[in-house]
Amino acid sequence: MSFFKKLTQRLKPRSDKQIYSEGLDRKTNKFVNKLLLLFEEESEIDESWIERMMVVLIEADVSVATARKLMKSFQKLLDENEITEKLYAKDVFKQVLNEFYGQEAPQLKIADNRPTVILVVGVNGSGKTTSCSKLAYMYQEQGYKVGLVAADTFRAAATQQLELWAQKLEVPIFKGKLHADPSSVIVDGLKGAIDQQLDIVICDTAGRLQTKTNLMTELTKMKRVMAKFIPEAPDATYLVLDATLGQNSLIQAKEFEKATALDGIVLTKMDGSAKGGIIFSIIDEMNLKVNFIGLGEQMDDLRPFSRELFFDSLLDGNSDNA
Ligand SMILES: Nc1nc2c(ncn2[C@@H]2O[C@H](COP(=O)(O)OP(=O)(O)OP(=O)(O)O)[C@@H](O)[C@H]2O)c(=O)[nH]1
Ligand SMILES: [Mg+2]
């Protein structure tokens, strides 16, 4: 048995609730702490409190327009229900957030008789490679046969990084030579996945700036070659966004969306991000939903996004209660 398998077996499995509340622990998350401090003030709710709450949201990189919308709905519900006590206001705010988020993203359907292909894209350092590995781990835990494709041929270290994860997880990896055409690696990966009858194949790609046309064209090519082998591929293209970049992430997301079809967002590094409020602007300003959320550096810290767990943990903020 591999070292990694032994290690994960020794770790007590954590519930999603526990992972969410540990990732959004007020002790390490300034945004959560500031939000909670507001609700803990003893005075009644008044205009100045509402204004201060708006400032907390904006400081966490919620855009002004989104913060206004949220506070307007919050104020309306508070007034309608004649609530002035903070204790009850917290539940009202949770309701506002849940309604604001709306429907959750549908889960990716895993095909029965061919590999389901996931393409992971994003700017440098957003967390693509670790997210690919964590997704592989998650699907493996669900009983699927998973493979990884190292289509980041840009840096030698990139393939090595994914290879290390593949070894730990004991999953096949398909890779190419340094500076090889990423599309050729994808072709090898898809052929291999079909041969080995894998259920899911996850393709890691090089970090690319949304403004670099050639790199965006390369993405289009990757998608085109995939479809030659598996017409439905990619089944999902996920954009990885780093929550610590705040509004910059939103700008990236908008540009990526213009350049290539996306199916959803993997929002990483929500643990400890003082700019975690960006999630509200993403919800408000994009047509995309958050499919997965990164709540830490452990293997099981990437979870399917659950609005209820997220907003509950955000406004409870204490892992000690989990
Ligand atoms: N705390 C925390 N760190 C994360 C999370 N996701 C990724 N990271 C860290 O972010 C760093 C960058 O992650 P990578 O997966 O290498 O990012 P990448 O997008 O593949 O980077 P490039 O290949 O250089 O474009 C690593 O140190 C990861 O451990 C997360 O959800 N929480
Ligand atoms: Mg990478």
**pLDDT of 241-272, one tens digit each?**
999 998 888 888 888 888 889 999 999 999 98
Least confident interval from 243-247, 290-294, 315-319:
315-319
Ligand of minimum distance to the alpha carbon of 241:
1
| 218 residue type, one letter | E
Kindly state the percentage of the chain with pLDDT values over 90. 74
What's the CATH class of domain 17-101?
Answer: mainly alpha
- Which has more confidence, 3 or 69? 69
Q: Is 140 exposed, middle or buried (0-12, 13-18, 19+ CB in 10 A)?
A: middle
Per-residue confidence (pLDDT) for residue 155, from 0 to 100 = 86
Residue 208 pLDDT greater than 90, yes or no: no
Per-residue confidence (pLDDT) for residue 8, from 0 to 100 = 55
CA distance 176 to 166: 15
Average confidence score pLDDT of the chain: 91
Kindly state the percentage of the chain with pLDDT values over 70. 94
Burial 22-53 (b: 16+ CB within 10 A, else e): bbbbbeebbbbbbbbebbeeeeebeeebeeeb
Residue 79 pLDDT greater than 90, yes or no: yes
Residue 11 pLDDT greater than 70, yes or no: no
**pLDDT of 123-179, one tens digit each?**
999 999 999 999 999 999 999 999 999 999 988 899 999 999 999 999 999 999 999
- Dihedral (C-alpha) 296, 139, 305, 259: value to the nearest 10 degrees? 100
Shortest-distance Cα residue to atom 10 of ligand 1? 127
Model confidence at 13, pLDDT cuts 50, 70, 90, reads confident
Give phi and psi for 173, each to the nearest 5.
-125, 140
Residue 210 pLDDT greater than 70, yes or no: no
Q: Kindly give the distance from the C-alpha atom of residue 290 to the centroid of ligand 2, in angstroms, as a whole number.
A: 20
Q: Kindly give the distance from the C-alpha atom of residue 7 to the centroid of ligand 2, in angstroms, as a whole number.
A: 24
Dmax (CA) of the chain: 66
The number of C-alpha atoms within 13 Å of 123 and in the hemisphere containing its C-beta is 19
Best CA proximity match to 282, nearest among 246, 231, 319: 246
Per-residue confidence (pLDDT) for residue 5, from 0 to 100 = 54
Residue 10 pLDDT greater than 50, yes or no: no
Residue 7 pLDDT greater than 80, yes or no: no
Q: What share of the chain is helix, strand, coil (3-state, %, to 5)?
A: 55, 15, 35
Domain locations in the chain?
Answer: 17-101, 116-305
**Average pLDDT of the segment spanning 224-248:** 94
Q: Is 143 exposed, middle or buried (0-12, 13-18, 19+ CB in 10 A)?
A: exposed
Strands 200-205 and 236-242: unpaired
State both tokens at 93: 């705010």
**Which 3 state secondary structure label does DSSP give 242?**
strand
Ligand of minimum distance to the alpha carbon of 131:
1
| 315 residue type, one letter | L
To test the pocket of ligand 1, the residue of 130, 133, 160 to mutate (highest count of ligand atoms within 8 Å of its CB) is 130
Is the CATH code 3.40.50.300 the one for domain 116-305? yes
In short, whether 207's Cβ falls inside 6 Å of ligand 1 is yes
**Average pLDDT of the segment spanning 176-183:** 92
